[in-house]
Amino acid sequence: MSRAFWHDQAVIVTGGAGFLGRHVVEALKARSAGRIIVPRRADYDLRQQEAVARLYADHPDATLVIHLAANVGGIGINREHPGLFFYENLMMGTLMLEYARRARVDKFVGIGTVCSYPKFAPVPFNEADLWAGYPEETNAPYGLAKKMLLVQSQAYRQEYGYNAVHLLPVNLYGPRDKFDLKSSHVIPAVIRKMVDAQESGAPHVTLFGDGSPTREFLFVRDAAEGILLAAERYNGAEPVNLGSAFEISIRDLVEIIAEEVGFSGALRWDTSKPNGQPRRKLDVSRAEREFGFVARTDFRAGLRETIRWYRAERRTARAAAERV
């Protein structure tokens, strides 16, 4: 990494108070970034044109935008709010990039999603196959809204010569994730179910689908590192996958989490619930070639750290409740 590069940057990090955003902000601080701007929703509603214009007017020295803000969740919440997810993600991305261009911000790093890939894309997913079909139906509105940020980035590069790049991270996990059973992704949801069942003495837990789909997961600190490497070193028009190149079935994932949590009860699969996309595994060669990113965190080690963090948060919450 180049500390000289970061020392001169004033970086707007949308979603900087969220799961991935906090890790990106910490990584920016470790690089001694010149200034880090984290817009809060109470001050700047990024779905509103006036608020986005005001954000850039309030920070005229901004040189780089890392657009992480998103309305996102697991299969259940995607099925419940497809319209909301489409609209809010589309508006945030469109407005943030347009006004970055108007404000002459040097560079815009847009964060897309693996959900933009076709449902039956060849495995491993290569960036060239991004347009080879329609996304998996349960998260297509979200995936397509984020995909429009790629289209906008490439159009702005073509017409205005604007330096906007687009990254496609796979499913993330790690400390500070959202462990809400209704809206969280698979790893925090399963950890929450297992810990709840272990502490209550429940004889079984129930999981979505049949466990056959496969997924690739990227530890959140690795994702933050990949984003900042791209921000520093990558200036190309083509999207770039960010992943770990490690694929695992949901069934195997659940069994590993049960083992790490110490839950020994039965695992029941609710096959009335959707499986989602059959397979997800990225071709990550472009990221290594273009800006030297390779994921470093061992999957089990990352899970253990995530579980430890969640248990500690539960203890803290209980202690606070007892003091009230």
87: annotated active-site residue: no
Q: Which residue has the tokens 């925090």?
A: 188
DSSP 49-84: HHHHHHHHHH-TT--EEEE-------HHHHHH-HHH
Given 44, 99, 142, 156, the catalytic residue: 142
Own/partner contacts of 21-30, CB < 8 Å, gap of 24 or more, are 21/68, 21/69, 22/176, 23/174, 23/176, 23/220, 23/221, 23/223, 23/224, 24/66, 24/68, 24/224, 24/227, 24/228, 26/224, 27/221, 27/224, 27/225, 27/228, 28/228
Q: Which residue has the tokens 């991004």?
A: 130
Contact of 125 with 117, CB cutoff 8 Å: yes
Contact of 16 with 68, CB cutoff 8 Å: yes
Dihedral, CA atoms, 16, 17, 19, 23, nearest 10 degrees?
60
Listed in sequence order, the residues at least 6 apart from 182 whose beta carbon sits closer than 8 Å to its beta carbon are: 76, 77
Question: What are the residue numbers of the active site?
Answer: 142
